[in-house]
A = this chain, B = another copy of it.
Amino acid sequence: MSSATNSNSEKRGSLENLVIELTKDARRASLEVAVLSTEKKNAILLSLAELLEKNRGALITENKKDIEDGKKSGLSKALLDRLKFTPERIDAMIDGVKNVAELPDPVGEEIESTVRPNGLDIRKIRVPIGVIGIIYESRPNVTIDCAILCLKSGNAAILRGGKEAYYSNIILSNIIQQSLVANDVSVAAVQLIPTTDRAALNILLKQNENVHCIIPRGGENLIRFVAEHARMPVIKHYKGICNLYIDKAADFDLAEKITINAKCQRPGVCNAIENLFVHRDVADDLLPQIANSLVDNDVEIRADQATAKILNENKISYKNASEEDYYEEYLDLILSIKIVDSLEKAIDAINNYGSAHSDAIITKDENAARKFMSGVDTSTVYWNASTRFTDGFEFGLGAEIGISTDRIHARGPMGLRELCTYKYFVFGNGQIK
């Protein structure tokens, strides 16, 4: 064996040990944070808010290293902007921490209860999951968001950020650990994996004994990689291919208003629509109105043949849609339009093209609405409202760690409760079987 191979395998061995020890420490810490009082958890958060305030200078200094490295490696202007700490963004981070301190503690809430004929009193109580791994990219404020939501819900967190935010994430995790130390809580309650080596991620994803759930937040490739390699459950926060269906019984002005809002108000977010389906019976009358409004709002229309015919007749500009376009998350001022023959065809189309995120129907017909809402297999289905409301804050959760496009454990906006599982507490007085 050459000495180079030897040293590589030693390096791999020590990385493996590092990650495994880190997950064991997290597991131990999870048992400690699971039983912390609400007051104690809030005290950690308030310490954290203070420490962020005190370390403003250091945060900007460390963040500048990431910005410089990003410029050298040719990151896009948009990515550099997402990476950057400004005084306002540090303000927002501090406010976010204080806000989570004020939210109700989900741990200990009674979900259901029953007293059995034998007298056993069975209570289903919300408790933390345990150790949650969060894999994310670029934006360093995610480090704080995830840490505080995991802490408040009594979980230990293992964070693995992107290499672009390396220095920013290191200082943030140091500050978080200082706030744990200040409150006599194990620093292993929140740990950042101190390397962005892909091999470390691979090792982490195999630690199903000590890591109970992985939440990947990032691009499609990252999420696919995690789902493929993880041995523990993964709650995917996948892309948002959201759809709007305008039924034959739609109010035209309402349909126009919601289409424009759902597409244009903030096209770069996951709950903006990418596809519009219109019932054939109203297409001739309705589409020109909607399409003109879209064009006025700088939206590029991608039209199927039937839509194209109507747009041509009305001299409205468009491009021809390919079949692939309907599977596309544009995150931009582009909208694919298709005419459908029936409500059923609209449901089929959405179940085929959508990503089970958010979908809406515009109609005055309650039967059509109920059928649509039952038939569309998605996290959130709207009747006469914009898809843009799928969000933890809009849902009243007070915060969110993301929007699950999965269906196991949590679906749609995930707040503090969704970071919990439950445990049955059974009170007896000597019952035997």
Contacts and interface: CB of A to CB of B under 8 A. Distances in A.
A233 B120 CA distance: 32
Contact of A430 (B227, B254, B423): B254
A233 B409 contact: yes
A327 interface: no
Interface string A392-423: 00111000000000111101100000000111
B381 A423 contact: yes
Interface in A114-146: 114, 116, 120, 122, 129-130
Contacts of A385: 120, 426-432
A231 interface: yes
A212 B428 contact: no
Interface in A219-235: 227-228, 231, 233-235
A381 B427 CA distance: 9
A383 interface: yes
A35 interface: yes
Given A379-B423, A396-B114, A423-B380, A431 B389 contact: yes
A233 B408 contact: yes
Interface in A91-118: 114, 116
A227 B254 contact: no
A433 B267 CA distance: 12
A432 B257 CA distance: 8
A152 interface: no
A293 to B, nearest CB: 13
A119 B120 CA distance: 42
Nearest to A374: B35
Which bracket fits the contact residues of A? 35 or more
B258 A430 contact: yes
Contacts of A422: 411
A213 interface: yes
Most buried by B among A208, A351, A390, A424: A424
B408 A424 contact: no
A31 interface: yes
Nearest to A407: B421
A248 interface: no
B426 A375 contact: no
A378 interface: yes
A433 B382 contact: no
Given A120-B385, A227-B208, A411-B423, A377 B130 contact: yes
Given A116-B394, A212-B408, A433-B389, A381 B426 contact: yes
Contact of A129 (B34, B116, B381, B407): B407
B430 A257 contact: yes
A272 B120 CA distance: 18
A388 interface: yes
A381 B383 CA distance: 43
Contacts of A265: 432-433
Contacts of A258: 430, 432
Interface of A: 31, 34-35, 114, 116, 120, 122, 129-130, 208, 212-213, 227-228, 231, 233-235, 254, 257-258, 261-262, 265, 351, 373-375, 377-386, 388-390, 394-396, 406-409, 411-412, 421-433
Given A262-B432, A388-B432, 4 more contacts: A233-B234, A383-B425, A384-B430, A411-B424
